[in-house]
């Protein structure tokens, strides 16, 4: 794989890249990390960053996955018994997905005086309002935010330093946290890094929500069976004319096309016959023009999701 192919893999399906000019210089000894709260089901929203990690791995970047147990607890996702049980399940889930990653538990390195001295240095320079703003798209019950949920982003910034990475991956909902870190970098001698942000998949219910395991019927789990996938897809929002909030199109773009070279849609001749799409843009254009019906789109993407999820589900068992 040549340098341009590696660069294309690193950049594809990102919503934004901060520090893009540094990518080439970091590629030789590149290390990326992505952190995950361990609560609920691993779903397609998580799969977007997992597929991005696979891209980075293929491009020669070493992968670290942080199972953020302390962050999960601080964000009020459950008590320690729940968090530790989730940790085991998530570790098993990640090992089912083909990533050759170093999996790290947060509390395995976070409980040191040096770590918390940096947290306090960051706290001295961060207002309460700024801390809350950084968590607006991440925190549970943000309108009733607790101090724990302001400590959370400061720890996430320090994790970048302690994990020794030069690539950081997260959903676009993580942007405010990491940008706070770049502004305060000199306070803790935070190293330079490239920050890659992936788009969020809208919730299956439609506008106003992201895919989340805490919102019933908004997500598809990587453990869902074929019947569950079909049922959820059939009930999902897929309005013609609303490309931005369409979860089916987002799944096609961010999950299906990165794994399959083309998408074929089977239809009876009386409804126009079969369709083939070599890339996402072709599919989006066909849907927007009315050439591709919403139900046909849902059924086809459900079939491809089953092809993708079935081997993960089998390995997990």
Structural domains of the chain sorted by starting position, each given as residue range(s) with its CATH number in brackets: 3-198 (3.40.50.620), 226-316 (1.10.240.10)
DSSP state, residue 221:
B
pLDDT mean over 85-106 = 91
Higher local confidence (pLDDT), 209 or 317: 209
pLDDT mean over 273-291 = 94
> What is the number of alpha carbons within 13 Å of residue 293 lying toward its C-beta?
11
pLDDT for the residue 240: 87
Q: Are 280 and 252 in contact (CB under 8 A)?
A: yes
Report whether pLDDT(278) > 80.
Answer: yes
pLDDT for the residue 317: 67
Report whether pLDDT(312) > 70.
Answer: yes
Higher local confidence (pLDDT), 179 or 217: 179
Q: pLDDT for 206-245, tens place per residue? A: 887 788 887 878 899 999 999 999 999 999 999 988 999 9
> What is the number of alpha carbons within 13 Å of residue 34 lying toward its C-beta?
25
């Amino acid at each position: 794989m040549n340098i341009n192919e590696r660069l294309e893999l690193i950049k594809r399906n990102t919503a934004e890249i901060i520090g893009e000019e540094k990518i080439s210089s970091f590629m030789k000894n590149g290390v990326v990390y992505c952190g995950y709260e361990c609560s609920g089901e691993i779903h397609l929203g998580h799969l977007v960053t997992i597929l991005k990690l696979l891209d980075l791995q293929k491009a020669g970047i070493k992968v670290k996955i942080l199972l953020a147990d302390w962050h999960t607890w601080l964000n009020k996702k459950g008590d320690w018994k729940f968090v530790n049980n989730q940790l085991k399940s998530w570790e098993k889930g990640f090992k089912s997905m083909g990533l050759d990653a170093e999996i790290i538990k947060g509390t395995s390195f976070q409980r040191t005086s040096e770590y918390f001295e940096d947290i306090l240095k960051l706290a001295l320079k961060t207002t309460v309002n700024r801390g809350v703003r950084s968590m607006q798209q991440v925190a549970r019950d943000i309108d009733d935010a607790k101090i724990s949920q302001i400590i959370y982003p400061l720890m996430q910034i320090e994790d970048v330093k302690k994990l020794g990475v030069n690539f950081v991956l997260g959903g676009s909902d993580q942007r405010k946290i990491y940008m706070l870190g770049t502004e305060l970098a000199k306070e803790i001698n935070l190293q330079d890094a490239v920050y890659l942000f992936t788009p969020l998949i809208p919730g299956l219910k439609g506008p106003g929500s992201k895919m989340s395991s805490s919102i019933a019927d908004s997500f598809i789990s990587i453990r869902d069976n074929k019947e569950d996938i079909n049922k959820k897809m059939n009930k999902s929002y897929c309005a013609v004319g609303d490309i931005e909030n369409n979860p089916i199109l987002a799944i096609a773009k961010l999950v299906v096309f990165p794994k399959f070279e083309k998408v074929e849609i089977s239809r009876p001749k009386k409804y126009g016959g079969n369709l083939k799409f070599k890339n996402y843009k072709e599919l989006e254009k066909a849907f927007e023009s009315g050439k591709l019906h919403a139900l046909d789109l849902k059924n086809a993407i459900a079939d491809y999701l089953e092809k993708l999820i079935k081997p993960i589900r089998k390995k997990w068992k």
